[in-house]
Amino acid sequence: MSFAKASALTINKKLSGHFLILLLLSVAIQLWPVLFTQPVRFAVRIALCNVFLLLAAAAVYRYLPGKIIAFILTALLTLNFAIAFSTWNVYQSEFNTVFAMSILATHLAEAKSMSGLYLRSIPVVLGYFFVTWYAIKSLSENLSGRMKTLGVILLVIYVGWYSTANWLKKRKDLEVYYPLSARILTNTPFYTGAEFIIAHRDSALAEKISQKNVHYPALQYQDTGIENYVVIVGESARRSNMQLYGFNQETTPVESAFKQNALIFNHAIAPASATVLAVPMILSKADPDNFTADRLADNIVSIARKTGYHTEWISAQGHSGKSNNYIVAIASTSQKAQWINTQYDTELLPALDQALTVPGKKFIVLHINGSHEIACDRYPPSASVLNSGDKFEDCYNNAIRYTDFFIGEVAKRLQGSASSILYFSDHGLEKNPQLESLYMHGSRNPSKEAYDVPQFIWYSQKALDSQKRQLGWVQENWPTTHNYELMLSWLGISTGIENCHSLLETCYQGATLLPVMDGGRHIFDYDQLRDTFSSPARDTPWRKAKANSL
């Protein structure tokens, strides 16, 4: 007998002798992220179902088909753990629908860029796989047939009980938002799969957005004297890290020079802490309480096209299908939509140059990567200007500065014409000193940092010469969910409905409520959130969206 085979047999024998320890260890590792993010009752359900699953796998393990089943089960359990553990490890959050939508909508370049955040999880994930595999193997070899049969029976009873209970709930419409299959999976160690089911359902619903025809009482266009309107949808930009807003480093030299030609919002507040929800609400009539297909269909891209604008969507953020999420559904209502595989945002500029050659009035959206994690990948080495010695702080601030450079390049192309730029970030980021890369998306128990964003409207000199424009600083809180109404006025569009949410209208009325949504679709009052991630945690009250929300 070879040394390797003898060693393997010795290891197998030792492991088999500790089958109960392996069983408990496997379950404990699976519960690791659960205990930090979910109620105790949820952890108990997952633990029970996990034990029953391992016992059932042990019951069939001795046969070849059983070994295949055990391997597939172990792989699926490992995948669930990998997703949940990585989310908790990086974001200190449970895995939720927004994360699932982001994964379904991601592209290869973004996946490569983000992979660095999750590399440190790999040893733990691999360890879990082998512990679980040997737990099943040792249980098969050491438990009596009666115990293994009992495990199968308990698993059937458990799944049957929760399936029936959730089916009855569904019949009574107590869980309208959640598909039945998602509710059932939530009670198993495959609970992350529930979020993917919801995300896939949401992606299918997003297709309805482009199919709906919104009626306006009296759609009209009034000449604004501006030929080119460009909207730059930023990504993950913290207002507090921008020189324009008083930051102590030169992160926005271009934007800071815009002050005389711009309307700058000092307290812009995003509606959600993730792109897949924030951008659709900013560009449409949807809001955290009313996230419906009808309201998403009433979006600024569609209405600009209906009033005679040539509309283009140019994105550095990839997509996995024409209806993969709400953003793509809105983008697809434009006359031309393109997703460009870029390394840096400046690679969108040739497409912008081409769009600007189209005659007549134009409405162009540039959706950039900005300072999205990992920020070190968002700019070329030549743009590494800020060097304080703190790598990830410098990476983030240099990414903000590179976005500033990109905005400057767009402005250069527009300066000789009557043009205007609206820039805003989709959401902010929280600063977590315990995280190596420092900055992260807000999710569970968010702070105001997750929603505090920059926003301004810039006018070229020719645009300023043609008509009087509103310039200066807007000091009051501005929910970017009102950007739809703001852009209607900016573009000279009237729908026949009074537009008093627009700062540019004489009837303007400021916002009294500032609802914001976290990654789990809980709705908070912005004013009740803690100021920063490092502020003392508080039990902030929240509510669910209205029953007809997606």
CA separation for the pair 353, 93 (Å, rounded): 41
For residues 411 and 421, the answer to whether their CB atoms sit within 8 Å is yes
Segment 150-159, tens digit of pLDDT? 989 999 999 9
What is the predicted pLDDT for the residue at 310? 98
Tell me the three state secondary structure of residue 116. Answer: helix
pLDDT class of 29 with cuts at 50, 70, 90: very high
pLDDT class of 176 with cuts at 50, 70, 90: very low
What is the predicted pLDDT for the residue at 111? 61
Write the DSSP assignment of 273-332 as a string of letters: SSHHHHHHHHHBS-BTTB--HHHHHSBHHHHHHHTT-EEEEEESS--SSTTSSHHHHHHT
What is the predicted pLDDT for the residue at 293? 84
pLDDT class of 550 with cuts at 50, 70, 90: low
What is the predicted pLDDT for the residue at 11? 45
Residue 507 token pair: 């009837």
Write the DSSP assignment of 230-259 as a string of letters: EEEEE-S--GGG-GGGT-SS-S-HHHHTTG
What is the predicted pLDDT for the residue at 323? 36
Mean pLDDT of 513-539: 90
Phi, psi of 257 (to 5 degrees): -80, -10
Q: Which of 141-145, 320-324, 513-517 has the lowest mean pLDDT?
A: 320-324
Max Cα distance, the chain (Å): 91
What is the predicted pLDDT for the residue at 82? 92
Residue 279 token pair: 């951008």
Query: Does residue 543 register a pLDDT over 90?
Result: no
CA separation for the pair 255, 263 (Å, rounded): 11
For residues 183 and 170, the answer to whether their CB atoms sit within 8 Å is yes
- The more confident residue out of 279 and 204 is 279
Tell me the three state secondary structure of residue 519. Answer: coil
User: pTM higher than 0.75, yes or no?
Assistant: no
What is the predicted pLDDT for the residue at 200? 79
For residues 349 and 370, the answer to whether their CB atoms sit within 8 Å is no
CA separation for the pair 82, 190 (Å, rounded): 11
Query: Does residue 85 register a pLDDT over 50?
Result: yes
Tell me the three state secondary structure of residue 220. Answer: strand
CA separation for the pair 495, 493 (Å, rounded): 7
Residue 8 token pair: 């393997």
What is the predicted pLDDT for the residue at 367? 96
Instruction: Select 226-528's CATH number: 3.40.720.10, 3.40.50.300, 3.10.290.10, 3.40.50.920.
Output: 3.40.720.10
Residue 415 token pair: 């300066």
- Residue count of the chain: 550
How many angstroms separate the Cα of 130 from the Cα of each of 15, 74, 134?
A: 11, 9, 6
What is the predicted pLDDT for the residue at 256? 96
Query: Comparing C-alpha atoms, which of 470, 499, 467 is closest to residue 482?
Result: 499
For residues 407 and 232, the answer to whether their CB atoms sit within 8 Å is yes
What is the predicted pLDDT for the residue at 233? 97
For residue 252, the one-letter residue type is T
Give the contacts of 522 (CB within 8 A, at least 6 positions apart): 542, 543, 544
For residues 132 and 74, the answer to whether their CB atoms sit within 8 Å is yes
Query: Does residue 348 register a pLDDT over 60?
Result: yes
Question: How does DSSP classify residue 266?
Answer: E
Query: Does residue 6 register a pLDDT over 60?
Result: no
Query: Comparing C-alpha atoms, which of 370, 389, 384, 381 is closest to residue 441?
Result: 370
The Cα angle at residue 545 between residues 517 and 92, in degrees rounded to 5: 35
Segment 213-262, tens digit of pLDDT? 888 889 999 999 999 999 999 999 999 999 999 999 999 999 999 989 99
pLDDT class of 172 with cuts at 50, 70, 90: low
Burial of 353 (0-12, 13-18, 19+ CB in 10 A): exposed
The residue to which tokens 């979006």 are assigned: 299
Query: Does residue 73 register a pLDDT over 90?
Result: yes
Strands (E) located in 176-286: 220-221, 228-234, 262-269
pLDDT class of 321 with cuts at 50, 70, 90: very low
Mean pLDDT of 160-188: 76
pLDDT class of 17 with cuts at 50, 70, 90: low
Segment 428-481, tens digit of pLDDT? 999 998 888 889 888 778 999 999 999 999 999 999 999 999 999 999 999 999
Residue 266 token pair: 């000092």
- Cite the residue boundaries of each domain of the chain with CATH code 3.40.720.10: 226-528
- The more confident residue out of 103 and 343 is 343
Segment 358-410, tens digit of pLDDT? 999 999 999 999 998 889 999 999 999 999 989 999 999 999 999 999 999 99
The residue to which tokens 């743009």 are assigned: 383
